């Protein structure tokens, strides 16, 4: 084969390969998609992921399979997806912990929240709840603050762990109330914290709204407030912290869908369009609401601004209260 023939053959092969790739992308998806959940099965993020995946997959014409990859405060899953092939078949449901908190509290993480992912859309948020043991006299936030202030160094609170959104929410409230004497007790997750709260080993805890609602059914704990901007449909009679004397107080964890950086434009567009239709579905929004999640669509184009804005809000809180992954 002479050089001229070789060049022609090579160009023809390249054009054919490009054509096949373009066709494959235009037909996306042609097989099931995997949605990585950075938490163990059964938790609130896993529940939201499964509800959304069912309808999202139906809108795309292919099933979306849930794969749980817990570990290192969502870092394991985020790193895995960031390093996956940018073909649209491996996606991540991440939270504020993944995209905002981890870069603040860890000196080094293996992914970049903005440059390492291709955003598909933010699907909504879930607030937290302030709980106390039923033996605590206070029936509202103001009374609790007064009780804590009257007994310096006698109160502690439990959280999911150092640097969790629960940890941030608590410190934000103590700062707003000008309290500096509430001892933080980090637990390895929600269940052990709720167990100790119910048993009276700790007087106060913050937790996800669904977990709080479940815990309150046993009459061993009371829910005094939720940290979200508005009341939770799951706890309509529980006031927000803002309503309880701290105007402007808001702490909620938002959930975002992302893929690896450099997803083909038409693949990203298909994923985003189908996801928006999913979150905008009234029946699905009601299912999420019943699970303690406020479904609200935010386009992929606004993802980076959201990460930057929340980082600007939370970084000073971490610095002022010495919040790190180990503190």
Please say whether the beta carbons of 197 and 205 come within 8 A.
yes
Q: Higher-confidence residue: 315 or 25? A: 315
Q: What is the CATH number of domain 30-126+252-320?
A: 3.40.190.150
φ/ψ of 54, rounded to 5, equals -60, -50
What are the residues facing 126 on neighbouring strands?
253
pLDDT in tens, 230-286: 999 999 999 999 999 999 999 999 999 999 999 999 999 999 999 999 999 999 999
Which run of H or of E encompasses 3?
A: helix 3-26
pLDDT at 98: 97
pLDDT at 122: 98
First to last CA, the chain: 68
Q: Which ranges in the chain are annotated with CATH 3.40.190.150?
A: 30-126+252-320
CA dist., res. 231 & res. 228, Å (int): 7
Which run of H or of E encompasses 308?
A: helix 303-320
| The pLDDT of residue 302 is above 50 | yes
CA dist., res. 151 & res. 168, Å (int): 23
CA dist., res. 310 & res. 96, Å (int): 8
pLDDT in tens, 55-112: 999 999 999 999 999 999 999 999 999 999 999 999 999 999 999 999 999 999 999 9
Please say whether the beta carbons of 314 and 250 come within 8 A.
no
DSSP state of 64: E
Give 3: exposed, middle or buried? Use CB within 10 Å, 0-12, 13-18, 19+. Answer: exposed
pLDDT at 7: 42
pLDDT at 236: 94
pLDDT at 23: 44
Give the pLDDT band (50/70/90) at residue 188. Answer: confident
Of how many residues is the chain composed?
327
Q: Which fold has domain 127-226?
A: D-Maltodextrin-Binding Protein; domain 2 (3.40.190)
Residue 306 to residues 84, 105, 159, 224, 299, Cα–Cα distance (Å): 24, 18, 25, 29, 11
User: Per residue in 264-298, is it b (16+ CB within 10 Å) or e — as a string?
Assistant: beebbebbbebbbbbbebeebbebbeebbbbbebb
pLDDT at 161: 87
pLDDT at 180: 87
Give the pLDDT band (50/70/90) at residue 2. Answer: low
pLDDT at 21: 43
pLDDT in tens, 134-173: 999 999 999 999 999 999 889 999 998 899 999 999 999 9
pLDDT at 24: 47
pLDDT in tens, 3-23: 455 444 444 444 444 444 444
pLDDT in tens, 201-219: 999 999 999 889 999 998 8
Q: Which ranges in the chain are annotated with CATH 3.40.190.10?
A: 127-226
SS3 label, residue 240: strand
Please say whether the beta carbons of 125 and 255 come within 8 A.
yes
pLDDT at 9: 47
What does R_g of the chain's alpha carbons equal in angstroms? 23
The token pair that represents 95 in the structure block: 């939270």
Q: What is the dihedral of CA 20, 23, 29, 35, to 10 degrees?
A: 60
Q: Higher-confidence residue: 323 or 181? A: 323
Residue closest to 57 by CA, chosen among 41, 35, 39, 77: 35
pLDDT at 192: 92
pTM of the model: 0.87
Q: Determine how many CB atoms are found less than 10 A away from the CB of residue 41.
A: 12
Q: Determine how many CB atoms are found less than 10 A away from the CB of residue 22.
A: 12
């Amino acid at each position: 084969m002479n050089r001229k023939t070789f060049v022609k053959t090579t160009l023809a092969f390249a054009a054919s390969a490009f054509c096949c790739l373009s066709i494959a992308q235009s037909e996306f998806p042609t097989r099931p998609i995997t949605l990585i959940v950075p938490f163990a099965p059964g938790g609130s993020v896993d529940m939201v992921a499964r509800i959304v995946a069912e309808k999202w997959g139906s809108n795309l014409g292919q099933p979306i399979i849930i794969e749980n990859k817990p570990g290192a405060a969502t870092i394991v899953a985020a790193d895995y997806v960031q390093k996956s092939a940018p073909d649209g078949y491996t996606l991540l449901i991440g939270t504020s912990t993944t995209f905002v908190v981890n870069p603040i509290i860890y000196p080094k993480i293996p992914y970049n929240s903005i440059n390492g992912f291709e955003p598909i859309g933010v699907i909504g948020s879930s607030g937290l709840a302030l709980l106390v043991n039923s033996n605590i006299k206070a029936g509202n936030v103001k009374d609790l603050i007064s009780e804590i202030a009257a007994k310096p160094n006698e109160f502690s609170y439990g959280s999911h762990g150092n640097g969790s959104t629960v940890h941030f929410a608590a410190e934000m409230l103590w700062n707003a109330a000008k309290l500096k004497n509430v001892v933080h007790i980090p637990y390895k997750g929600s269940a052990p914290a709720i167990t100790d709260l119910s048993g009276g080993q700790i007087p106060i805890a913050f937790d996800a709204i669904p977990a709080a609602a479940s815990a309150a059914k046993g009459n061993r704990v009371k829910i005094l407030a939720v940290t979200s901007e508005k009341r939770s449909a799951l706890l309509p009679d529980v006031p927000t912290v803002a309503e309880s004397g701290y105007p402007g107080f808001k702490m909620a964890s938002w959930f975002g869908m992302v893929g690896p950086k450099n997803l083909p434009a038409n693949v990203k567009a298909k994923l985003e369009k189908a996801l928006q239709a999913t979150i905008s579905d009234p029946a699905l929004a009601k299912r999420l609401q019943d699970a303690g999640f406020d479904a609200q669509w935010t386009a992929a184009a606004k993802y980076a601004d959201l990460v930057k804005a929340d980082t600007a809000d939370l970084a000073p809180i971490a610095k002022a209260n010495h919040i790190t992954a180990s503190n």
